[in-house]
């Protein structure tokens, strides 16, 4: 069982960075860019939330073996351990064969796109990465 640092979910300043990723891993650099942005935001004390949309739902798939490329799911596992909240769109996940959370990293939640709307408020900075 992994211990998750929940101190970063809400910073003392209440600032939250919301990152929406819509491209899958290894098709573009957006997953890597999103990871680097999230890592830096956590280091600066921001709360970080990532919403996976469209092919972005492939990012936290368990047991990826990209051979010659960095394993992006391991990078996102680090973010979860640091307190980053990650949710995947239920319709997008189902359309790509993910019927439950067992195929995802521990800590990734399959949920409605309405959760994304709830994340967007006056304290949030929203970044959308993808095509």
Q: Which residues contact 124 (CB under 8 A, 6 or more apart)?
A: 16, 17, 18
Give the model's pLDDT for residue 96.
96
> Is residue 37 helix, strand or coil?
helix
pLDDT tens, position by position, 71-109: 999 999 999 999 999 999 999 999 999 989 999 999 999
Which band of pLDDT confidence, cut at 50, 70 and 90, is reported for residue 122?
confident
The model's pTM is 0.88
In this structure, are residues 115 and 20 in contact, taking their beta carbons and an 8 Å threshold? Answer: no
What are the structural domains of the chain?
Answer: 6-129 (3.40.1260.10)
Sheet architecture: strand order including 124-129: 108-111, 85-89, 47-52, 16-21, 124-129
Query: Across all residues in the chain, what is the average pLDDT?
Result: 89
CA atoms within 13 A on the CB side of 54: 12
pLDDT digits (tens, 9 = 90+) for 47-77: 999 999 999 999 999 988 888 888 999 999 9
Is the confidence at residue 12, as pLDDT, over 80? Answer: no
Strands 108-111 and 47-52: unpaired
> What ranges in 3-129 are assigned the alpha helix state H?
30-43, 72-81, 90-95, 114-119
């Amino acid at each position: 069982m992994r211990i998750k640092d929940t101190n970063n979910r809400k910073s003392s300043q209440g600032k939250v960075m919301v990152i929406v990723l819509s491209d899958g891993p290894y098709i573009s650099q957006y997953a890597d860019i999103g990871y680097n942005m999230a890592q830096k935001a956590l280091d600066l004390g921001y709360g970080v939330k990532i919403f996976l949309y469209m092919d972005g739902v492939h990012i936290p798939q368990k047991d990826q073996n990209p051979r010659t490329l960095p394993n992006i799911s391991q990078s996102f596992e680090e973010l979860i351990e640091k307190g980053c909240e990650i949710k995947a769109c239920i319709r997008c996940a189902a359309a790509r064969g993910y019927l439950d959370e067992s195929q995802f990293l521990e800590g990734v939640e399959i949920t409605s796109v309405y959760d994304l709307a709830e994340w967007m408020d006056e304290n949030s900075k929203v970044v959308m990465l993808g095509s």
